[in-house]
Amino acid sequence: MSDSTTPPASTPVTVSKIGYVGFETLDVDRMVDYYTKVLDFVLVERTNGEAFLTTGFDHHAVVIQQGQTKARSFVGYEVWGDLADAQRRLRDAGYAVERRSDLAPSIPAVLVLEEPGTGVPIHLYDAQASSGVEGYTPLRPTKLGHVAAFTPDLKPSQDFYQDLLGFKWSDTIGDFFVFLRCNADHHAANFMASKTREGMHHIAYEMRDLNHLQTMLDHLAKNNYRLEWGPGRHGAGHNIFTYHQDPDGNDIELFTQIDMIHDESKGYFEPRPWHEDFPQYPKTWEVDLIAVNSWGPINPDKLVH
């Protein structure tokens, strides 16, 4: 039975948003410094070897752990509806699920399942405690937008996210880069097929608009962080992007103006004058400037797979 706040359960789980990403570093203090002083996140809680950082209402969007610089230790997704129902439906679908209550100070119950191909633990939860952070700052990103990762094969990843977690297909570039959405935003998860690379491709944070992005870029420059690519406009997703590296060398994207689907029954992205197609439906893109950076140039390193 569904009501206005619960979508029909056509898949065992319906993810409503990306909540957080966790990754390891050799130097937690250095990464906390970068996140708080450069990206203007708020440090909400620090426990044994773990730092929880947020951009706003939720307790955390980033978890930094002491470790061996293993990128993308886990990803957390918030789900529609009751977590016990989700657990039952996942088991009915034949998936091993572990229920944990000790993974984050702000989340009493988390379902953990393994992402196919990568083995990365995926956390599912129904709500986080509030961070207590209020107010406006000129710099801080609005939210964690997406996490892009390498995977050996696209299909198992795509099947897992679409058939089990309720994601929808947004775009594919060539036969190696897929974009998946769990709400109006063009993608919350994207995967690049690679037999030689693994881990995180990049983490992306959303900026309000171009002025917000520019303010942050000036702030990055003042702190000696230089762009490695952009500003440009992606074709798939049409977000204006910039990329720089955090102190560990993880690629960090700051973006704005990402495509959105507000009416799933229509199936196309809200029309924008910079689109190539009118209307713009999810599609498989040729690998060229239009798909990757319509403002030019292509960054060959970003296309390695």
In whole angstroms, how close is the CB of 107 to Fe ion at the nearest point?
25
In this complex, which beta carbon is closest to Fe ion, that of residue 103 or of residue 188?
188
Name the minimum Å distance from CB 255 to Fe ion: 6
Number of H helices, E strands in the chain: 6, 17
SS3 for 118-187 is CCCEEEEECCCCECCCCCCCCCCCCEEEEEEEEECCHHHHHHHHHHHCCCEEEEEECCCEEEEECCCECC
For the bound state, the minimum distance from the C-beta of residue 50 to Fe ion, rounded and expressed in Å, comes to 25
DSSP one-letter code for 209: S
Nearer to Fe ion, 78 or 253 (CB): 253
At its nearest, how many Å lie between Fe ion and the CB of residue 256? 12
For the bound state, the minimum distance from the C-beta of residue 233 to Fe ion, rounded and expressed in Å, comes to 12
Rg value, the chain, Cα: 19
In the complex, which residues of this chain contact Fe ion (CB under 5 A)? Answer: 204, 253
Residue 302 sits at φ, ψ, to 5 deg, of -70, -15
How far is 180 from 173, CA to CA, in rounded Å?
12
| Burial class of residue 75, CB neighbours in 10 A (0-12, 13-18, 19+) | buried
Name 5's Cβ contacts closer than 8 Å, sequence gap at least 6: none
Q: Yes or no: say if 72 and 117 are a contact pair by the CB < 8 Å rule.
A: no
Closest distance to Fe ion from the beta carbon of 51 (Å): 23
Residue 275 near residue 291 (C-beta atoms within 8 A): no
Q: Which residue is nearest to Fe ion (CB)?
A: 204
